[in-house]
Amino acid sequence: MTDALEPSDEHLVSLSKDGSLDAFNSLVERYQAAVYNLCLRLIGDSAAAEDAAQEAFLSAYRSIQRFEGGNLRSWLLRIAANQSKDELRRRTRRGPHDSLSASDPDDPPIDLPDSGESADQYVERMAIGKGIQQALLQLPFEQRQAVLLSDLHGYHYEEIALIAGSSVGTVKSRIHRGRERLRTILSSQPELFGHHGRLEG
């Protein structure tokens, strides 16, 4: 019942364009988890991801008048991806002490499906998720973005293309190349997949 009473994205956007901060904050609440999670997986650092997510929403608020309709989630995630890319560039310019190649111990690993696992299986699943996250950070940004949106978030090619600002063909190519590179990286860590067999294509 409550879902039916929730205002639509279109209505909240319209109110936001009219200057309603409450309406925009409702959009933030609706999409903050998706925006933050994408920033976290793209950047690999929780504090930097929080900064990028905050900047993404600030940018969206400043740009809301230019939003001409369509998929709001894709629009927000595109802004978030661009902010994440900018954050990575800033950290690269600042030097090796800000490098994101090292793991942030506070970051959760990729959360894989759970099916009534034992304690040992849970530990193993966390290790696999951590290994996957670190491998993702070794991919070129565009490939990492495409693989994350497809394989972790479950978005269709068309929506990924909207988020990435590219063609569907380019998205498919990036996903294919990213998966291949990811498989190569992870195959050098067979200890992570002892009970799961080899990686499937």
pLDDT in tens, 51-86: 999 999 999 999 999 998 889 999 999 999 999 999
CATH number of 1-100: 1.10.1740.10
Per-residue pLDDT for 3 more than 90?
no
Question: How high is the pLDDT of residue 134?
Answer: 86
Place of tokens 């959360």: 111
Q: Which pTM does this prediction carry?
A: 0.76
Task: Return the domain boundaries, the chain.
Answer: 1-100, 110-201
Mean pLDDT along residues 1-11:
76
Of 107 and 68, the one with more pLDDT: 68
Per-residue pLDDT for 186 more than 70?
yes
- Other beta carbons within 10 Å of 197: 7
Mean pLDDT along residues 119-125:
60
Question: How high is the pLDDT of residue 169?
Answer: 97
Per-residue pLDDT for 39 more than 90?
yes
| Residue 200 pLDDT class (50, 70, 90 cuts) | very low
Render pLDDT for 138-180 as a digit per residue (tens, 0 to 9): 999 999 999 999 988 889 999 999 999 999 999 999 999 999 9
CATH number of 110-201: 1.10.10.10
